[in-house]
A and B are shown apart, each in its own frame.
Chain A
């Protein structure tokens, strides 16, 4: 059930994609999502080496025989990412699906993907970027509204408006993200014309996520008003949980701190400390507003059962309304 253009395109059972999340999208999580009928996605950026990246792909494959994807970050990075090498590796390993993310389209890499029959989903935060991605030839776009955790774009448009606007603008399948964590958001996105959803924050609070228990507990006790946006000063807006560190960062930015001054806070290693080591003030902790909808840690399979089972209940309500 839940047949959409996205389930057809990706060869999956449910149109639910686990967003690529730095430090979080490990083989165990991605494989669990794919095994549950969605699409698990690994990240390439921040893998310690190309060999480690290759090992992640192989390990995922050993854990699932279902399709999974790899995220390639096209965001500007202080140290350029070896994306060409990641692509060599994922093509050698026969990864069937790639999710690119950033303002820039993956145009330069598309010929290689097309030749290898790799399906490309481009994730962005603006309807015009989605349109551009369609023009260069990606297979699907994912748009995320300002509710999104982590990189959230600088336009501050809510998913509720961004999604229908994007659906009006492009004809390739649209995947919606930013604020989706449960059955209600899943069906709402489909109602607004999405062919699938991308979920991030909710997966950070699953048993299979490699996030530290302290971080999971933080997600559970946070409400929808407990996030804030930082890194506006470098036009790389990130939504994170409110903490002393995040407030200090926002304050430094307000006072005109340079990128060199804020790097010790926003650096990837610091984020890893927060997510993986549970040292919650060591850096910033990415999370979307949907954190307010999460109240327990579930296994990935339980989460899928809840979303799909819940969606049936919501549909029954809609059917009753439609029939009245």
Chain B
């Protein structure tokens, strides 16, 4: 299935893997690329040796195009040179301010790579295009993690008519019906997060896979309580606790910040610089600058996300989860997901045509 998205990246199908910290692994990203989509590895939680090794591992597993997703301006500065040195085919950035974004885009274009900006607002999409992005990912309200308040049905046409680069719709996409809908709305393809994470190739605990299968479309909640900006997660015990505990945000957050410092082996100076960087970036998907409480929440959130995704604890950890999890009912292989999505989309397109000729 050819669209401007497949042409741009040199892939077979207009489907990419959403970059999800801890959930996307080299094996999962390579599986998506091998199945004809665009595999993406979220790299922000790696250190620079870790990301270099991860990129090498992807290259050992696939010779197809793949991407690295980086959140800019949150202490990921040392990862950028590695990604550029490795000449990753596609860089997908999120957040960041123009002075951080522009040089990265220029450098990637310098070696012939492509850049995708992740956005949730029309004005951010237009800015991303102006800065030189080759495509944008439109994150609708239904998506896991950070988004604005506008649903895909409105946001996708609003953004795709405001920019001329190809748009990739993200947030809640699980099947070929939705792929066709996204194409009808003006997108050139979709990004799948939860659907491609709930596969055999994903390296997550069975408890987490089961949590996705058990979720229905009403099982998630979006709130700034989890990491300081509006973030959609599975509504579990940990989420309920955080929603209730806003009074203690500062205490919770301070504890988490210390935990982060220890886990990441940061010096005090590094920790303060990182916190300062987080605080001062424009929180691209949410708009505006972070307050200190919000910065602290980012730290708490990071700890709890790791607990769910690495620790395999879907009760006491926070699991980022989109509304589309309610449409996920099985754990197939990545190739099965992609093949059946394309086959279903082709069938839906044929039936739409038939309806209009009747």
Q: Answer yes or no: do A and B interact.
A: yes
B27 contacts partner chain A, Cβ-Cβ < 8 Å: no
User: Which stretch from A76-84, A160-168, A297-305 is at the chain B interface?
Assistant: A160-168
Chain A: which residue is nearest B218 at the CB level? A155
A–B pairs, 18, beta carbons within 8 Å: A1-B358, A145-B153, A158-B152, A160-B178, A161-B326, A178-B151, A179-B154, A184-B157, A184-B186, A185-B157, A187-B184, A191-B348, A191-B349, A312-B356, A315-B353, A321-B183, A321-B349, A322-B346
Residues of B with Cβ closer than 8 Å to A? Answer: 1-3, 121-122, 140-142, 148-158, 171-172, 174-175, 177-178, 180-186, 216-218, 222, 323-324, 326-327, 345-346, 348-350, 352-353, 355-358
B349 A322 Cβ-Cβ under 8 A: yes
B181 A182 Cβ-Cβ under 8 A: no
Chain A: which residue is nearest B324 at the CB level? A161
Distance in Å from the Cβ of A310 to the closest Cβ of chain B? 10
A231 contacts partner chain B, Cβ-Cβ < 8 Å: no
A2 B180 Cβ-Cβ under 8 A: no
B183 A179 Cβ-Cβ under 8 A: no
B153 A161 Cβ-Cβ under 8 A: no
A190 B217 Cβ-Cβ under 8 A: no
B157 A321 Cβ-Cβ under 8 A: no
Report which residue of B2, B155, B156 has the largest number of chain A beta carbons within 10 angstroms of its beta carbon. B155
CB-CB under 8 A from A312, the residues of chain B are: 356
Chain A: which residue is nearest B157 at the CB level? A184
A158 B323 Cβ-Cβ under 8 A: yes
CB-CB under 8 A from A156, the residues of chain B are: 222
A157 B148 Cβ-Cβ under 8 A: no
CB-CB under 8 A from B178, the residues of chain A are: 160, 164, 191-192
CA distance A224 to B140 in the complex (A): 12
B151 A289 Cβ-Cβ under 8 A: yes
* In the complex, per-residue mask of A266-306: 1 if CB is within 8 Å of any chain B CB, else 0: 00000000000000000000001110110000000000000
A317 contacts partner chain B, Cβ-Cβ < 8 Å: yes
Chain A: which residue is nearest B179 at the CB level? A191
Report which residue of A3, A179, A191 has the largest number of chain B beta carbons within 10 angstroms of its beta carbon. A191
A25 contacts partner chain B, Cβ-Cβ < 8 Å: no
A193 B177 Cβ-Cβ under 8 A: yes
CA distance A289 to B121 in the complex (A): 13
Report which residue of B153, B180, B222, B356 has the largest number of chain A beta carbons within 10 angstroms of its beta carbon. B153
CA distance A4 to B355 in the complex (A): 7
A289 B324 Cβ-Cβ under 8 A: no
B218 A292 Cβ-Cβ under 8 A: no
A170 contacts partner chain B, Cβ-Cβ < 8 Å: no
Q: Which one, A146, A162, A224, contacts B155 given CB within 8 A?
A: A224
CA distance A19 to B188 in the complex (A): 31
A225 B356 Cβ-Cβ under 8 A: no
Q: Which one, A161, A180, A319, contacts B327 given CB within 8 A?
A: A161
A192 B181 Cβ-Cβ under 8 A: yes
CB-CB under 8 A from B148, the residues of chain A are: 225
* In the complex, per-residue mask of A1-32: 1 if CB is within 8 Å of any chain B CB, else 0: 11110000000000000000000000000000
CA distance A165 to B216 in the complex (A): 9
Closest 7 CB pairs of A and B: A179-B153, A3-B358, A324-B2, A188-B181, A158-B151, A191-B180, A187-B184
Known: A179-B151, A184-B186, A315-B352. A189 touches B2 (CB 8 A): no
Chain B: which residue is nearest A183 at the CB level? B184
Distance in Å from the Cβ of A229 to the closest Cβ of chain B? 9
A289 B150 Cβ-Cβ under 8 A: yes
CA distance A184 to B346 in the complex (A): 18
A147 contacts partner chain B, Cβ-Cβ < 8 Å: yes
Distance in Å from the Cβ of B196 to the closest Cβ of chain A? 16
CA distance A281 to B83 in the complex (A): 53
Distance in Å from the Cβ of A146 to the closest Cβ of chain B? 6
* In the complex, per-residue mask of A174-211: 1 if CB is within 8 Å of any chain B CB, else 0: 00001111101101111111000000000000000000
A293 B185 Cβ-Cβ under 8 A: no
CB-CB under 8 A from A146, the residues of chain B are: 141, 151
CA distance A126 to B326 in the complex (A): 13
B352 A165 Cβ-Cβ under 8 A: no
Chain B: which residue is nearest A324 at the CB level? B2
A103 contacts partner chain B, Cβ-Cβ < 8 Å: no
Known contacts A161-B172, A187-B181; 15 additional CB pairs below 8 A are: A2-B358, A4-B355, A145-B153, A146-B141, A157-B217, A158-B151, A158-B153, A159-B153, A184-B156, A184-B186, A188-B181, A293-B154, A312-B356, A315-B353, A318-B183
A160 B140 Cβ-Cβ under 8 A: yes
A50 contacts partner chain B, Cβ-Cβ < 8 Å: no
A223 contacts partner chain B, Cβ-Cβ < 8 Å: yes
B327 A164 Cβ-Cβ under 8 A: yes
Q: Which one, A157, A162, A188, contacts B185 given CB within 8 A?
A: A188
CA distance A317 to B4 in the complex (A): 12
B150 A165 Cβ-Cβ under 8 A: no
